[in-house]
Structure 1
Amino acid sequence: MELSRHEGQLPRITARYRIETPCDPERAAEAMAGEQSSGTFLKLAGETEALRERHAARVESVTCLKVGTTPSLPGALPGETYTSADVVLSWPLENIGTSLPNLLATVFGNLTELRELSGIRLTDLVMPACFIEALPGPQFSIEGTRRLCGTEQGPLVGTIIKPSVGLTPEETATLVKQLIEGGIDFIKDDELIADPPYSPLSERVPAIMQVINEHAQRTGRKPMYAFNITGDTDEMRHRHDLVRDHGGTCVMASVNWIGLGALAALRRHSQLAIHGHRNGWGVFYRHPQLGISYRAYQALLRLAGADHLHVNGLASKFAEEDASVMDSARACLTPLLEGAERDDRAMPVFSSAQTVHQACPTFQQLQSTDLIYTCGGGIMAHPDGVAAGCRSIRAAWEAASIGVSLEDHAKQEPDLAVALRAFHSPFSG
């Protein structure tokens, strides 16, 4: 943990930002600190020196970067130039307690609306050990997920039910049967389907789990299915119990829309792995001068209890750059608290137009197979069927792990050879 430069104080939360301002960056940083702690636009009698000393946010550092002549965002104070700067602020933990929603309200809160800022992005959070230890964190993490899936080594080869919407429970179960017989490790609902009238969970869960449980009884291997239980807190608890009671091992939630508080409540109730889907993440990252970096937000999602977190994928159909994808995955695999007894890592989930082509560069850049590699079309659209699609993805990862080219490995893996012809290049290639 990085310590504040102010010694002898209570534990502190530290937040890092990239800002843009028409003001002097030091003045802008002071405005940020005041807005998010004891200050207001007028001097108040109750804001004593003692109160400020104990509760005020502190400006730890300001590092000026480049200067431009055009503001990135509207609504800021007018200025002739706009300076980018890295700012570090800290708060006493006493202001916040161990509440994740109140942590975000403190470190981000009104900052996006300050007129002193024409750009603001929260880039990182450093939390003291007592804060991290007070929150539940992932229940299963990487090793627990591997144990539930029966996959000790290599990536978890996964897929998403496609088409995303429209399949009945019986049609979904038929597809699941093909996938698990083809050797899949992990299957998930699409984020677009939770509990719709045409495929209610009360019917979808038993239909799918009957197939999975029969397969497990016959083979001793039980692939993981992440059922989308997104809803309000009471709905998610009820849906979790439905999955649990039918022998399921994983539930999924759209974490940006249920919120940190509901995710933490689900974690407290859950006996199953929690698959965190980040759909809507573009709202937070697509403008370089506004939002939250995933490195900061994934830490909060892990503390709230997510066992798996989506990070997009290399050469995907989305706007995120490959370097950002890999930084997100590395962040998920980095312990929040070194040397802790519990494992607070989350398994990164690669998705979005992933095929056999991205396996090698993903492994080369991450240098780990502690991940879930989900392919929708990359498995479902294989010309020889979904089982061949599963085998082709596993063969691509075998090639990556032994350091041979896909083309050479395809000489002894016919399903991979067919996939290389069917999927000519990554989406963005």
Structure 2
Amino acid sequence: MTEQRITATYEIETAFPLDQAAATMAGEQSTGTFVRVPGETDELREAHAARVEAIEEFGDVAAPSLPGSGLPKDGGDGRRRRARVVLSWPLSNMGPSLPNLLATIAGNLSELKAFSGLKLTDIVLPPAFLDRYQGPQFGVEGTRRLTGVYDRPIVGTIIKPSVGLSPDATAEQVRVLVEAGVDFIKDDELQADGPHCPFDARIAAVMRVINDHADRTGRKVMYAANLTGDVDEMLARHDHVVANGGTCIMASMNSIGLPAMKQLRAHSRLPIHGHRNGWGMLGRSPALGMSFIAYQKLWRLAGIDHTHVNGIDNKFCEPNDSVIASARECLTPMFDPPHQGCEIIPVFSSGQSVRQAAPTYAALGSVDCMFAAGGGIMAHPGGPAAGVRALRQAWDAAIAGAAVEEAAKDSPELKAALGAFGG
């Protein structure tokens, strides 16, 4: 029986011959060192050495993209090439372990002197990982069931100011938002358990508002409580959210790490809103780090149900095609049938308003997403309720294939929003 293998794809930049550069990557991340050593038998190399599966040359660059790179001993041919390299490893090298997978596919590669650029762009994992990792518990279907929102995006927003509000002040802002008709509210990633707004007090105050509203209307707004902390703190905070009737928790993925997320997922009875803050350190450089395509697969397996992908024409540096590629990947199965797909909800955010509904729908081709707006709701001239209605009207028009300006003729909230958020 053929052993399952892990495949990783990279974009590299090097002054070394491409075959030599790829072999250096494979050796560094499996059996090799800079010289052959006792014990590194042909049999061992055959069983455990990483394989170079493909090399595709892209062209040359005029100067190194990163400092500290070197040249071949003979000085090279004066060219610095860009290429795509695909490597693979037998599963037995590390087993179905996300932390050790990360050490294998990333590890020391970015520090190798042979490279002036090296970025992980994708990974393909064997289904053996599903035997150990549970993946998302709720995903798209479960989140829709808990919010009661179908056939359109889940409209969300974020508590602002990010920090400084007391538990009662936070609850008052939540009251305004739930009465405005929003579907989803999340804490800011900066607000977890500060002395001015302790987690337990904040959740108790906020959930009183949400539960009272649900009792009156039959509609329970989902609130993602930021429980980021040490593992024991997060598990206790999860239980506090459940005890108060909450329906979602949030954790900063890069702050807690994959093993902590796995433990939180195993304990959780609620959807996990995975916040990717800090991802720019991994993804922003075209010459270093990893793509979101690869990154989100690790966290999906660890158990998140939603994650941010920025948004069309967002306030950050990410271009629109990258945003949409990230969102599509969240909705793409990771494994072939009959294995589970691990699809999660992409969350569009960062300076979003009615202006981005149509281009987002046109590019994504799906309503399976969250569309989170802060100022796009709170700064509406008619108030937050009009802001929520305007966003829904904009999405209704997009889904129907109608121009937003045409739809605004019969929708005063949408017309006001277009005027307020023009340009």
Indicate the TM-score class for this superposition, using the shorter chain for normalisation.
over 0.9
List per-residue Cα deviations over 1:292-326 (Å, max 9, x = no partner): 01111111110000100110000001000100000
CA contact (8 A) 1:70 1:81 kept: no
From 326, 344, 350, the equivalent of 2:342 is: 344
**Matched ranges for 1:372-391 at <5 A:** 372-391=370-389
Shift of 1:233: 1.2
What letter corresponds to residue 276 of structure 2 in structure 1?
A: R
The residue number in structure 1 matching 2:304 is 306
Shift of residue 405 of structure 1? 1.5
Residue correspondences, number = 418
Q: 1:347-426 maps to which residues of 2 (within 5 A)?
A: 347-425=345-423
**Alignment partners' CA distance in 1, 2:170 and 2:323:** 30
Alpha-carbon offset, residue 338 of structure 1: 3.2
Secondary structure at the aligned position of 2:121 is classed as strand
Q: Secondary structure at the match of 2:257?
A: helix
TM-score, normalisation: structure 1: 0.95
- Other structure's SS at 1:164 match: coil
Q: 1:224 aligns with which of 222, 225, 229?
A: 222
**8 Å Cα contact 1:38/1:56 also seen in 2:** yes
**1:259 positional shift:** 1.1
Classify 1:272/1:113 alpha carbon distance in 2 versus 1 (closer, same or farther; 3 Å): same
Q: Secondary structure at the match of 1:125?
A: strand
Matched, 1:21 2:19: no
Listed one character per residue, the Cα deviations across residues 10-61 of structure 1 (whole Å, up to 9, x for unaligned) are: 1100000000011001101101011001111222111111111111111111
Identify the residue that residue 57 of structure 1 maps to in structure 2: 50
CA distance in 1, matches of 2:46, 2:336: 31
Deviates more, 1:354-363 or 1:37-46: 37-46
CA deviation digits over 1:244-289, x for unaligned, max 9? 1111011111111211111111111111100011111111122111
Paired residue secondary structure (1:417): helix
Task: From 180, 183, 186, give the equivalent of 2:184.
Answer: 186
Map 1:81-230; keep pairs closer than 5 Å: 81-230=79-228
Cα distance in 2 for residues equivalent to 1:341 and 1:26: 35
- Give the drift of 1:85: 0.8
Structure 2: gaps of 5 or more residues: none
How far 1:179 moved relative to its partner? 1.1
Work out the CA distance in 1 between the residues paired with 2:301 and 2:385: 36
Is the Cα contact below 8 Å between 1:19 and 1:86 reproduced in 2? Answer: yes
Task: Check conservation: 2:122, 2:293, Cα contact below 8 A.
Answer: yes
Q: What do you get for the CA RMSD once the two structures are aligned?
A: 1.2
Q: Judge conservation of contact 1:132–1:337 (CA < 8 Å) in 2.
A: no
C-alpha displacement of 1:69? 2.9
**What is residue 39 of structure 1 aligned with on the other side?**
32
Which residue does the alignment assign to 2:278? 280
Structure 1, unpaired ranges of 5+: 1-7
For residues 222 and 151 of structure 2, what CA distance do their matches in structure 1 show?
15
Tell me, in whole angstroms, the C-alpha distance in 2 between the residues paired with 1:266 and 1:75.
39
Q: Report the alpha carbon displacement of residue 353 of structure 1 after superposing the two structures with TM.
A: 0.2
**Aligned residue type for 1:178:** V
Contact 2:334–2:341 (CA<8 Å) still a contact in 1?
A: no
Report the Cα distance in structure 2 between the residues aligned to 1:183 and 1:342, rounded to whole angstroms: 34
Look up the equivalent residue of 1:324 and give its one-letter code. Answer: S
Higher mean Cα deviation, 111-120 or 72-81?
Answer: 72-81
**How far apart, in 1, do the equivalents of 2:393 and 2:192 lie?**
32
Percentage of pairs with the same residue: 56
Secondary structure of 1:118's counterpart equals strand
Supply the distance in 1 between the matched residues of 2:291 and 2:247 (Cα, whole angstroms). Answer: 30
| Cα distance in 2 for residues equivalent to 1:371 and 1:133 | 28
Q: State how far apart, in whole Å, the 1-side matches of 2:279 and 2:49 are.
A: 31
Q: What's the secondary structure of 2:211's corresponding residue?
A: helix
Report the counterpart of residue 70 of structure 1 in structure 2: 63
The 3-state SS of whatever aligns with 1:123 is strand
Q: Distance in 1 between matches of 2:121 and 2:53?
A: 15
